[in-house]
A and B are shown apart, each in its own frame.
Chain A
Amino acid sequence: MRDETIRDDLKASPRFQLEHQRRDFLGMAAMWSAASAIFVALLGAMRLPIPSVFPESNSRVKLGSVDLFQGVAVTPFVEQRLWVFSDDQGLYAISAICTHLGCLVARQEDGEFDCPCHGSRFDSQGKVTKGPAPKPLLRLALSVSPDGQLVVDRQQTVGPEVRLKV
Chain B
Amino acid sequence: MNLAFDLLLILALSWSAWRSLATPDLTRAVVMFIVFGLLMALAWARLGAPDIALAEAAIGAGLTGALLLDALGALQARRGEKKEDA
* Chain A complexes with chain B: no
Report which B residues bind A (CB closer than 8 A): none
